[in-house]
């Protein structure tokens, strides 16, 4: 009956074939992925620093090629900072857009054709939010109602639609859990005359009575429907503007949406990463770097998602950060040391649960008891400490494996898996999500497609050559974090890269492609020339 209801909804659910290493179609990176990669020169240029530490004063950037301005979400000021990048060596703040008239503050910003679109959260986080439109001088144009907690906003490449990912997070008591949704706003009548009738809502109620795809998960105390449990996080759109790819982070899945019909084509479960094959460092209490295989399945749980066309085909890139549902009224988070492990699945449980082994690793109480007998048969961790490539149908074709941690251990041993707020905090994040890939952007530099993957905790970004999307090649790692500096004195450089914006050479003031990075903890925005 559940499957027939899904079919009735005319939705095709794609069953992920990439459960750990079970699928031969998933290429995992090895330690020599830089072999044969195209050369790339990254030149740090100007930056703007708010001087506000750890208050989300720089989160998401958007660039306008006409005015050469960067629009940056400033969570601390609940505003959009406007930065002049006409001279990329010196970013200057020239204004700000205050948002108090439309809600609590901005979560995301996008720009196209001189129109700035902002996703604004309601003062009541569980109530409907707003998509608000301004010109590049910050003058108000129009606003429409969207779903609860609009977390990301994006124009389609053809400029005909604006899409909003409405995360729909519960309140802290977990007594009000709105449904997650995606709003599709038609711009056919222009931005000036927008009204709520121009907004179509894509919901996920069809999943309430359906068999979920393998590798997709839910996590609630049983009081929420699947549609309430679904939390759309980030949106990518195909070059032809026909298809949207939406990361459902907490659900370990990606939704594929037909923009014209405002309907879900399929939901792709992302499966699980077998850490008995792909090693990682699981403890912050072992006083050493200890990257090794563990009997753990990693939930990919992507945050940022991006799409790029290579040789006429769409490829989807995901940064596998990981996230849990953790509230006062309900939390799925616990540590492996607190689990009751099945004695057959884990005959060495007492050893595994020591703090220096797996005991400190954060895991979930929402999955793992596969036979329903009250103990845990499978240990799941949050995030995959990697980035992955999906094809246009949501099938995973590549994952970077343990390459991030291996590279950082070999080259940055003294600050390996450091916290983003404290320098020389080696191993601090190993029990959680490691370097924590979060932001991702892609684009062409001198004809070569690249992916740029930000590491929220470690800082900096990894660069991969995407010429062969099923086997990307590691190019370099770049970081402007200064471990010799002081975060409190604002001398530690760029901390916690959050939002990435790739700028094509044709739009850049330097004539070269550029990368804009907004760093949440340091409250700073920095630009890079790419050659």
Task: Compute the distance between CA of residue 215 and CA of residue 339 in angstroms, rounded to an integer.
Answer: 22
Percent of the chain with pLDDT over 70: 93
How confident is the model over 64-94, as pLDDT tens digits?
Answer: 999 999 999 999 999 999 999 999 999 999 9
Q: What are phi and psi of 306, to 5 degrees?
A: -140, 160
Task: Compute the distance between CA of residue 83 and CA of residue 135 in angstroms, rounded to an integer.
Answer: 14
Query: Where residue 222 falls among pLDDT bands split at 50, 70, 90?
Result: confident
Structure tokens at 425: 């905090």
How confident is the model over 452-505, as pLDDT tens digits?
Answer: 999 999 999 999 999 999 999 999 999 999 999 999 999 999 999 999 999 999
Work out the average pLDDT over 389-407: 98
What's the pLDDT at 29? 53
Per DSSP, what are the bridge partners of residue 266? 256
How confident is the model over 94-120, as pLDDT tens digits?
Answer: 999 999 999 999 999 999 999 999 999
Task: Compute the distance between CA of residue 427 and CA of residue 421 in angstroms, rounded to an integer.
Answer: 13
Residue 33 confidence (pLDDT) above 80: no
Query: Where residue 389 falls among pLDDT bands split at 50, 70, 90?
Result: very high
Stretch among 36-40, 152-156, 400-404 having the lowest mean pLDDT: 36-40
Query: Where residue 19 falls among pLDDT bands split at 50, 70, 90?
Result: very low
CA distances from 427 to 48, 219, 302, 458, 486 (A): 30, 28, 22, 10, 19
Work out the average pLDDT over 381-391: 98
Domains located in the chain, CATH noted: 2-323+383-530 (2.130.10.10)
What's the pLDDT at 223? 83
Structure tokens at 179: 């449904």
Q: Given its phi and psi angles, is residue 414 left (phi above 0), alpha (psi -120 to 50 degrees) or beta?
A: alpha
What's the pLDDT at 384? 98
What's the pLDDT at 146? 98
How confident is the model over 295-336, as pLDDT tens digits?
Answer: 999 999 999 999 999 999 999 999 999 999 999 999 999 999
Residue 254 confidence (pLDDT) above 50: yes
C-alpha 264, offset from chain centre: 20
Work out the average pLDDT over 36-52: 90
Residue 289 confidence (pLDDT) above 70: yes
Task: Compute the distance between CA of residue 114 and CA of residue 30 in angstroms, rounded to an integer.
Answer: 44
Work out the average pLDDT over 381-408: 98
Residue 31 confidence (pLDDT) above 70: no
Residue 225 confidence (pLDDT) above 70: yes
Contacts by 476-485, CB closer than 8 A, 24 or more apart: 476/34, 476/40, 476/42, 477/407, 477/408, 477/411, 478/42, 478/528, 480/44, 480/526, 483/414, 483/415, 483/418, 483/423, 483/424, 484/423, 485/423
Task: Compute the distance between CA of residue 416 and CA of residue 430 in angstroms, rounded to an integer.
Answer: 9
Residue 3 confidence (pLDDT) above 70: no
C-alpha 181, offset from chain centre: 17
**Helices marked H in 380-460:** 403-411
Task: Compute the distance between CA of residue 371 and CA of residue 516 in angstroms, rounded to an integer.
Answer: 48
How confident is the model over 131-168, as pLDDT tens digits?
Answer: 999 999 999 999 999 999 999 999 999 999 999 999 99
Residue 30 confidence (pLDDT) above 90: no
Residue 18 confidence (pLDDT) above 80: no
What's the pLDDT at 224? 87
CB-based contacts of 22, cutoff 8 Å, min separation 6? 271, 274
Work out the average pLDDT over 439-444: 98
How confident is the model over 230-252, as pLDDT tens digits?
Answer: 999 999 999 999 999 999 999 99
What's the pLDDT at 39? 83
Task: Compute the distance between CA of residue 247 and CA of residue 275 in angstroms, rounded to an integer.
Answer: 22
DSSP state of 493: B
Task: Compute the distance between CA of residue 12 and CA of residue 279 in angstroms, rounded to an integer.
Answer: 34
What's the pLDDT at 37? 58
What's the pLDDT at 27? 60
Q: Please classify residue 34 by burial: count the beta carbons closer than 10 Å to its beta carbon, then call 0-12 exposed, 13-18 middle and 19+ buried.
A: middle
Residue closest to 441 by CA, chosen among 240, 304, 244: 304
Query: Where residue 11 falls among pLDDT bands split at 50, 70, 90?
Result: very low
């Amino acid at each position: 009956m559940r499957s027939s209801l899904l079919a009735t909804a005319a939705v095709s659910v794609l069953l992920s074939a990439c459960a750990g290493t079970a699928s031969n179609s998933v290429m995992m990176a090895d330690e020599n992925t830089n072999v044969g990669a195209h050369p790339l020169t990254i030149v740090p240029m100007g930056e703007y620093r708010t001087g506000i530490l750890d208050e989300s004063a720089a989160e998401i950037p958007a660039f306008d090629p006409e005015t050469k301005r960067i629009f940056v979400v400033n969570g601390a000021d609940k505003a959009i900072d406007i930065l002049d990048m006409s001279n990329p060596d010196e970013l200057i703040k020239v204004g700000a857009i205050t948002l108090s008239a439309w809600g609590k503050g901005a979560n995301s910003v996008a720009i196209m054709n001189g129109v700035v679109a902002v996703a604004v959260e309601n003062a009541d986080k569980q109530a409907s939010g707003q998509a608000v439109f301004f010109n590049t001088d910050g003058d108000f144009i129009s606003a429409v109602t969207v779903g609860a907690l609009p977390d990301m906003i994006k124009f389609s490449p053809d400029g005909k639609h604006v899409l909003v990912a409405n995360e729909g997070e519960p309140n802290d008591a977990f007594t009000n859990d709105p449904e997650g949704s995606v709003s599709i706003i038609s711009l056919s009548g222009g931005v000036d005359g927008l009204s709520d009738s121009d907004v179509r809502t894509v919901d996920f109620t069809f999943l309430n009575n359906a068999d979920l795809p393998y590798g997709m998960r839910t996590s609630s105390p049983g009081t929420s429907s699947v549609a309430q449990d679904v939390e759309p996080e980030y949106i990518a759109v195909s070059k032809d503007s026909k298809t949207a790819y939406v990361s459902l982070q907490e659900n370990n899945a990606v939704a594929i949406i037909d923009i014209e019909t405002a309907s879900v084509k399929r939901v792709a479960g992302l499966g699980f990463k077998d850490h008995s094959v792909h090693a990682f460092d699981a403890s912050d209490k072992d006083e050493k770097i200890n990257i090794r295989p563990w009997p753990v399945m990693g939930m990919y749980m992507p945050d940022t998602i991006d799409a790029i066309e290579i040789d006429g085909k769409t490829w989807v890139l995901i940064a596998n950060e990981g996230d849990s549902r953790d509230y006062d009224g309900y939390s799925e988070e616990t540590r492996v040391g607190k689990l009751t492990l099945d004695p057959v699945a884990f005959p060495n449980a007492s050893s595994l649960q020591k703090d220096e082994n797996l005991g400190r690793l954060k895991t979930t109480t929402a999955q793992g008891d596969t036979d329903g007998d009250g103990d845990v048969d499978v240990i799941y961790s949050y995030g995959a400490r990697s980035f992955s490539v999906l094809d246009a149908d949501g099938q995973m074709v590549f994952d970077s494996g343990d390459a991030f941690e291996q590279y950082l251990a070999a080259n940055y041993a003294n600050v390996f898996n450091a916290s983003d707020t404290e320098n020389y905090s080696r191993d601090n994040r190993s029990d959680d999500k490691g370097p924590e890939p979060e932001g991702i952007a892609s684009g062409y530099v001198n004809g070569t497609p690249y992916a740029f993957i930000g590491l929220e905790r470690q800082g900096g970004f990894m660069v991969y050559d995407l010429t062969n999307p099923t086997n990307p090649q590691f190019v370099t790692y770049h970081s402007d974090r200064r471990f010799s500096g002081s975060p409190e004195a604002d001398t530690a450089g760029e901390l916690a890269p959050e939002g990435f914006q790739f700028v094509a050479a044709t739009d850049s003031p330097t004539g070269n492609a550029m990368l804009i990075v907004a760093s949440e903890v340091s409250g700073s925005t920095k630009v890079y020339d790419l050659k």
